[in-house]
Chains A and B, each alone.
Chain A
Amino acid sequence: MTRQDFISRLRAGLRGLAPPAIEEIVADYETHFVEAQAAGRGEAEVAAALGDPDRVARELRAEAGLRRWEVERNPSAAANAVWAVLGLGAIDLLVLLPIVLWIGGTLLGLFIAAGALVVVGAVMMVAGPVVVHGAPVMALALGGLGLIAAATSLGCIATIVSIGCTNALVWYGRLHMRLLKPALEPQGAV
């Protein structure tokens, strides 16, 4: 592999990261090639010693995704972290994917149910007395409030469970970061 191949595959693999981060990473490896050549080593040899650029890129992207989740706890960062871990290929996808989909689906269902309950409760409180003539206003209002409260706690529980699940996955993904594994294997095998 030439220096150009290595750099372009690395760059392609890093797509999705913030552009300044990509430039910084690419610059690190560019400098590495320059220094190595100054030390009298050939391009192909240096590229081989650096390892697989796709894997380097995957791992750097995963690390960025996991960090984002640690800094900003929001659904998009969570989704990002989950995909980053799956993208590592460190975990057997066939085993993990059904579990992730199942948990994700259940949680999504809970959120939708919570949302629907809020709507039903609100309608009951506001529109109930108008639609149903002579209905007990107080009872409808209390019932509606109760539904909204139940929906809120359902939503909270689902959120806590989502955060827990994402954390567990991130922890598992970190354990399996592969990049350092070939590090202690003989150079020739890379």
Chain B
Amino acid sequence: MVEAVQVQLKKGVLELCVLALLSRGDAYGYEIASRLAQGIEMGEGTVYPLMRRMQSDGLVATYLVESPAGPSRKYYRLTDVGRAAFETQKTEWTAFSAAVDAILGGAQ
């Protein structure tokens, strides 16, 4: 069960990271993948299933843009639902991490 909780935690955090990235501006798949790979060392292959899941949850929408480098890029943008989810999750995360920090700090 501990493992399952960890997986859930990571899943939640990854979604939050993608929401945060997109809240600052639309991005295409590779951009998201490489930003997250740099930032939190996640496997790049993870991004696409996650984006599909978020798309079918209605958090993001896609549109295609011609690219000079080859096939057209699929851009993701936050929907209103996605924006609301970002605000909620951000608040939850901030409160949660502050609480954890307080406990960790108190233990020293």
Q: Which residues of A contact B (CB under 8 A)?
A: 25, 27-32, 34-36, 38-39, 46, 49-51, 53, 56, 59-60, 63, 67, 175-187, 190
Quick one: closest A residue to B69, CB to CB?
Answer: A38
The docked-state distance in angstroms from the alpha carbon of A180 to that of B33 is: 13
A residues near B29, Cβ cutoff 8 Å: 28, 31-32, 35
Tell me if B106 counts as interface (CB < 8 A to partner A): no
Contact mask for chain B residues 32-73; partner A; CB cutoff 8 A; 1 contact, 0 none = 011001001111111011111100100000000000011101
Q: Which residues of B contact A (CB under 8 A)?
A: 4, 6-8, 10-11, 14, 28-30, 33-34, 37, 40-46, 48-53, 56, 69-71, 73-74
A32 touches B14 (CB 8 A): no
Q: A31-B70, A31-B73 are in contact. List 7 more A-B contacts (CB 8 A).
A: A35-B70, A49-B43, A175-B7, A179-B46, A181-B6, A187-B43, A190-B43
A32-B29, A179-B46 known; A184 and B10 CB under 8 Å?
yes
A30 touches B71 (CB 8 A): yes
A50 touches B45 (CB 8 A): yes
11 A-B pairs in the complex with CB atoms less than 8 angstroms apart = A25-B48, A31-B71, A35-B70, A35-B73, A51-B43, A56-B48, A175-B7, A179-B46, A180-B11, A185-B41, A185-B43
A35-B69, A184-B40 known; A60 and B45 CB under 8 Å?
no
Chain B interface main SS type: helix
- Tell which of B7, B30, B42, B56 touches A36, judged by Cβ atoms closer than 8 Å: B30
| Cβ distance A186 to chain B, nearest Cβ, rounded Å | 7
The docked-state distance in angstroms from the alpha carbon of A181 to that of B45 is: 12
Chain A interface main SS type: helix
A186 touches B41 (CB 8 A): yes
The docked-state distance in angstroms from the alpha carbon of A35 to that of B43 is: 16
B71 touches A50 (CB 8 A): no
B4 touches A183 (CB 8 A): no
B residues near A38, Cβ cutoff 8 Å: 69-70
- Tell which of A34, A35, A39, A60 touches B49, judged by Cβ atoms closer than 8 Å: A60
B residues near A187, Cβ cutoff 8 Å: 37, 41, 43
| Cβ distance A35 to chain B, nearest Cβ, rounded Å | 4
A59 touches B49 (CB 8 A): yes
B7 touches A63 (CB 8 A): no
A175 touches B33 (CB 8 A): no
| Cβ distance B39 to chain A, nearest Cβ, rounded Å | 11
